[in-house]
Amino acid sequence: MSYQMLIDGNMVSTEFWLDVVNPATGEILARCPRADAAIVEQAVAAASRAYPEWSRRSYDERSAKLRQLADLIEERADQFARLLTEEQGKPLEQAAFEIAGAIYVLRTFAEMRLPPETLRADGNSQVVEYRGPLGVVAAITPWNFPVLLLMNKLAPALLTGNTLVVKPAPTTPLTTLLFGEVCADVLPAGVVNIVVDANELGGILTSHPSIAKVAFTGSTATGKKVMAAAAESVKRVTLELGGNDGAIVLDDVDTASAAKHLFDGAMLNAGQICVAIKRAYVPSSMYDAVCEELARLANAAVVDNGMHQGVQIGPVQNAAQFAKLKDFLADAAEHGTIIAGGHALDRPGYFIAPTIVRDVSDDARIVREEQFGPILPVLAYDDIDEVIARVNDSDYGLAGTVWGKDLDRANAIASRIEAGTIWVNQHLAIDATIPFRGAKQSGLGGELGIEGLKEYTQARIVNSVSLD
Ligand code: NAD
């Protein structure tokens, strides 16, 4: 299979190449073409040319295109899911779930509208808010959910009349390029353009005078650079950044169910989820029992190539992340007690054994920093006010969870956590109709829901009065 970028309606190759590695084998999965600065310019110019006509179309016309994109992905869902597992590493079932989620996002946004809103109308005067598109949007995505996180940006951007230049992460460009083939069949030339880089071209997009908005998902460190670059021309930005989500287990939950929820929430996608459970807080009275059960689950987990049947945890996505996690494991071994895992698997590919760390202090790296891997530090607490303060003592504020039988008590505790989303007795209940945004250094602006749609528009107030 050969891959090409989508520029101005054409599938194009270049003489520069990027090797994409299968993280389950460490072998090269595919070579794909890569852009240079001149190709990025062509992509931005094509998106700018396509904008006037696309933005003049009606919501209904653009919505029909979103539905067509969804239908064509659905027809090729198996191909998308397999390629996603091969380039990203996640188990095939989870890849299929991500593709289904992407289709759902396209179809859900296709139903949304932003009609003019009358803010005031009295006698002979009225104030009406209209919302129009911004222009060319740069959509920059990370490697943990390359398809889903792209759709969270592309669907609202296209529906509201913007055109796009898309840049996937260098280690997971293939599913985005496959999606480019779908776009080429459905959309007018230039409405969506896709460029691949080796981590060096994002800055051109974020500082480009013809880009009106940057929709970015990635690390907080890169998000700060995006924000700084966008400042020059006061671009709109949405930043979906890192997280270090705490989970609070209350003392009325039974041990086995608490451990199961914590384990699943920490280990899905090999822990590479912005809203994964990254620190677990358990009452002292339950601490030994929950730790023991977590260790049992970790030792029993099936870790293997995501293409194999029954696999729970695949490899981590890339060599840099693999090296970073081994560093975290060394630090965790020094500052805590590892009761399961704690090492890379002795086989090709980037496999980390699911790891549980106990007896670790609040200031250990594995607790304070976002590890983004299948490692869960477990901490004990004695007092609710104290544990809320410990969870909130972070520069991040993406999400969090509270687990408790007494729902009123759990909800009251959840409302005191400084994060954009707090789930009670559930995890990852993300939906295209519910706004998602990070607090503190976890983000700026938001995605999904009507609020997420508005992020791709400029509000214009028309304030009129009759001359009579
Ligand atoms: P990253 O910041 O390294 O890269 C993200 C994207 O930015 C990639 O496409 C990369 O090529 C590009 N990029 C790199 N330098 C750039 C620059 N100077 N200007 C513009 N773009 C640049 O992030 P990652 O390692 O790919 O992803 C993991 C991170 O993403 C984690 O921190 C995770 O928590 C976060 N994340 C957040 C959310 C959310 O919704 N809040 C969702 C998923 C992942």
Alpha carbon nearest to ligand 1 atom 23, residue: 218
- To which residue do tokens 């503190």 refer? 440
CA of 30 to the centre of ligand 1 (A): 22
Q: How far apart are CA 354 and CA 324, in angstroms?
A: 15
Q: Which atom of ligand 1 is nearest to the CA of 140?
A: 9
Q: Which atom of ligand 1 is nearest to the CA of 145?
A: 43
Q: Which of 407, 9, 12, 353 is nearest to 190 (CA)?
A: 9
Domain boundaries, the chain: 5-241+438-463, 245-424
Burial 341-361 (b: 16+ CB within 10 A, else e): bbebeeeebbbbbbbbbbbbe
CA of 217 to the centre of ligand 1 (A): 5
Q: What is the pLDDT of residue 42?
A: 98
pLDDT in tens, 254-299: 999 999 999 999 999 999 999 999 999 999 999 999 999 999 999 9
Q: What is the pLDDT of residue 1?
A: 76
Q: Which of 86, 87, 98, 240 is catalytic?
A: 240
CA of 218 to the centre of ligand 1 (A): 2
Alpha carbon nearest to ligand 1 atom 40, residue: 240
Please give the sequence-ordered ranges of beta strands (E in DSSP) within 17-162, or none if there are none. Answer: 17-22, 27-33, 117-122, 125-133, 136-140
Q: Which atom of ligand 1 is nearest to the CA of 214?
A: 20
Q: Residue 400: beta bridge partners? A: 422
Among 18, 140, 239, which is best to mutate for testing ligand 1, by the most ligand atoms less than 8 A from CB? 140
Please give the sequence-ordered ranges of beta strands (E in DSSP) within 147-263, or none if there are none. Answer: 163-167, 192-194, 211-217, 236-240, 245-249
Q: Which atom of ligand 1 is nearest to the CA of 443?
A: 41
Q: Which of 269, 351, 320, 330 is nearest to 84 (CA)?
A: 269
Q: Tell me what the mean pLDDT of segment 175-184 comes to.
A: 98
Q: How far apart are CA 153 and CA 157, in angstroms?
A: 6
CA of 384 to the centre of ligand 1 (A): 34
CATH of range 5-241+438-463; options 3.40.50.720, 3.40.605.10, 3.30.2350.10, 3.40.1160.10 = 3.40.605.10
pLDDT surpasses 80 at 222:
yes
Quick check: pTM over 0.85? Answer: yes
Binding pocket residue ranges, ligand 1, CB within 6 Å: 140-144, 149, 167, 169-170, 199, 202-203, 206, 217-219, 222, 225-226, 240-243, 274, 370, 372, 398, 438, 443
Q: What dihedral angle (degrees, nearest 10) is formed by the CA atoms of 120, 121, 122, 124? A: 130
CA of 167 to the centre of ligand 1 (A): 11
CA of 56 to the centre of ligand 1 (A): 32
Angle at 235 between CA 230 and CA 241, to 5 degrees: 60
Q: Which two tokens stand for residue 367?
A: 């607790």
Residue 274 annotated as catalytic: yes
Let me know: does 36 contact 51? Beta carbons within 8 Å: no
- The 8-class DSSP code of residue 419 comes to S
CA of 88 to the centre of ligand 1 (A): 15
Alpha carbon nearest to ligand 1 atom 14, residue: 199
pLDDT surpasses 80 at 96:
yes
Q: Tell me what the mean pLDDT of segment 63-72 comes to.
A: 98
Q: What is the pLDDT of residue 468?
A: 81
CA of 173 to the centre of ligand 1 (A): 13
Quick one: 56 exposed, middle or buried, by C-beta within 10 A (0-12, 13-18, 19+)? Answer: exposed
Q: Which atom of ligand 1 is nearest to the CA of 225?
A: 18
Q: Tell me what the mean pLDDT of segment 326-336 comes to.
A: 97
Q: Which atom of ligand 1 is nearest to the CA of 229?
A: 19
Alpha carbon nearest to ligand 1 atom 9, residue: 169
Q: Which CATH superfamily is domain 245-424 in?
A: Aldehyde Dehydrogenase; Chain A, domain 2 (3.40.309.10)
| For the chain, percent of residues with pLDDT exceeding 90 | 99
Give the model's confidence band at 2: pLDDT under 50 very low, under 70 low, under 90 confident, else very high: confident
pLDDT surpasses 80 at 357:
yes
Q: How far apart are CA 402 and CA 312, in angstroms?
A: 24
Among 105, 140, 208, 222, which is best to mutate for testing ligand 1, by the most ligand atoms less than 8 A from CB? 222
pLDDT in tens, 184-195: 999 999 999 999
Q: Which two tokens stand for residue 218?
A: 């990635």
Let me know: does 341 contact 377? Beta carbons within 8 Å: no
Give the model's confidence band at 341: pLDDT under 50 very low, under 70 low, under 90 confident, else very high: very high
CA of 196 to the centre of ligand 1 (A): 14
Pairing outcome for strands 5-7 and 10-12: antiparallel
Alpha carbon nearest to ligand 1 atom 8, residue: 169
Let me know: does 171 contact 318? Beta carbons within 8 Å: yes
Residue 370 annotated as catalytic: no
Alpha carbon nearest to ligand 1 atom 11, residue: 199
Q: What is the pLDDT of residue 417?
A: 98
The two most distant CA atoms of the chain are separated, in Å, by 84
Alpha carbon nearest to ligand 1 atom 42, residue: 274
Q: Which atom of ligand 1 is nearest to the CA of 447?
A: 40
Q: Which of 86, 274, 291, 447 is catalytic?
A: 274
Report the mean per-residue pLDDT for the chain: 97
